[in-house]
Amino acid sequence: MRLPVFFLFAILIFSQIQAQEKIVHGVIIIDLNDASPEGIYITNSRTKFTTITDLTGSFSLRAEAGDSLLIQSTFYESRRFYLTENLMKKDFLNIHLNIQPIALDEAVIMPKLTGFLDIDAANYKPGKDPIADLYKELGVNPDASKLRDSSDFTMWKDVSPFHLNVDKLYEVFSGDLRRRQNLYAFEGRETKILHIREYFGDEYFMNELQIPQEKIREFVYFSYETTKIPTFYANGNFLNIMKELSNMAPVYLSRLNAWQHNN
């Protein structure tokens, strides 16, 4: 007699649970044009039941108020959606997802090297720079920046019977043009020096060239101003820049030690 009572009790509990549950209908909306909402997994965290969205992003699964839906996909951010009493009263649910950001590891692109700096620098061909080729394939201009007019005052260009560049004429007489040209030249040089430092990294200067960290910027500036580094930089030839830095390190350290000894 006890067994039928147990089954009856179990059936009553199951019926009560079923009465609280309902089939929830909804659609996943991707907050990006032309993004497909198909194939997104939606799991009821309580029942562990999982369904997958169709081509339109629509889905249906059984749930009740208080349940949470875990929404997962390879290309979109995972999200947990909580079903409240008010949401359960709706006939249709709209759930928004964002694109999943993909973090790529830093890639260092260099030509095949022999390990001998003189040979590698001599064999290096800037015209076959893999980084430049990569930029070209991606359609990216690495030198693109805001245009800044620092051109010299030119007769017939800035002054003609049909045209007068008043701003440029004023800058010539006030000295603003020359000051701006000097400023842009300084900023451009500082940008290149910083780029060279970041390209090789402080560890290279400190460990390989024995340059104190607080003197790295000064050393790069010294090498930039006294060698062919500006030409090599313009051609993207960092192997020859490395060679010049290696050659100039003893010269710079000798001058630095002499200066420190005298002071």
pLDDT by position in tens, the chain (length 263):
454 555 554 555 545 544 478 899 999 988 766 677 888 899 999 999 999 998 888 999 999 999 999 998 877 778 899 999 999 988 889 988 876 654 555 555 566 666 566 666 666 665 556 656 665 665 555 554 444 444 444 443 444 444 444 454 445 445 555 665 555 555 677 888 888 998 899 999 999 999 999 999 999 999 998 999 999 988 888 889 999 999 999 999 998 888 877 76
> Which pairs with CB-CB distance under 8 Å and at least 24 residues apart come from 63-66?
63/21, 63/22, 63/24, 63/88, 64/20, 64/21, 64/22, 64/88, 65/20
Q: Give the model's pLDDT for residue 99.
A: 65
- Contact of 128 with 112, CB cutoff 8 Å: no
Q: Give the model's pLDDT for residue 154.
A: 47
Domains of the chain, CATH where assigned: 17-97 (2.60.40.10), 117-144+175-262 (no CATH)
- Contact of 84 with 63, CB cutoff 8 Å: no
Please state the length of the chain. 263
- Contact of 124 with 240, CB cutoff 8 Å: yes
Name the residue among 61, 67, 64 with its Cα closest to residue 40.
Answer: 61
